[in-house]
Amino acid sequence: MSHHEREVVLGDFEQLVLLALVRLGPEAYGATILREIEQRTGRRLSIGAVYVTLRRLESKGFVISRIGEPTAERGGRRKKHIALLPAGRRAVAQAYRTFTVMADGLEHQLRRP
């Protein structure tokens, strides 16, 4: 592993947000990310936690946000769209590979109570 590919450590919630972004594509914004994670994990989340994490990911250069056009169904408010940047895609891919390599073959043990 070259030094420019050094391991990036992502928190669990950062990983969930990045995975949601991979799944949602270019139309992702706070509420859709929240819904995606809640529906898939069964966790109840606050939108504040999602936005704090998005700001942290943006400061790390993993995502970028842009303000969309005002929409009638939001009473003229603008959506803040979030896009995954290449560095974010690489970081979540690396975290995914690490997890799957470590978990490989453990399905039976992990299923036990």
What is the sign, positive or negative, of the torsion defined by CA atoms of 35, 39, 94, 23?
A: negative
Q: Where are the domains of the chain?
A: 10-104
Which amino acid is present at 83?
A
pLDDT tens for the 113 residues of the chain, in order: 444 556 678 999 999 999 999 999 977 999 999 999 999 999 999 999 999 999 999 999 999 998 877 777 667 777 889 999 999 999 999 999 999 999 998 888 888 77
In angstroms, rounded to a whole number, what is the distance separating the alpha carbons of residues 48 and 34? 10
Intra-chain end-to-end CA distance of the chain, in Å: 37
Which amino acid is present at 5?
E
**CATH class of the domain whose range is 10-104:** mainly alpha
Element (H, E) at 66: strand 63-70
24 SS3 class: helix
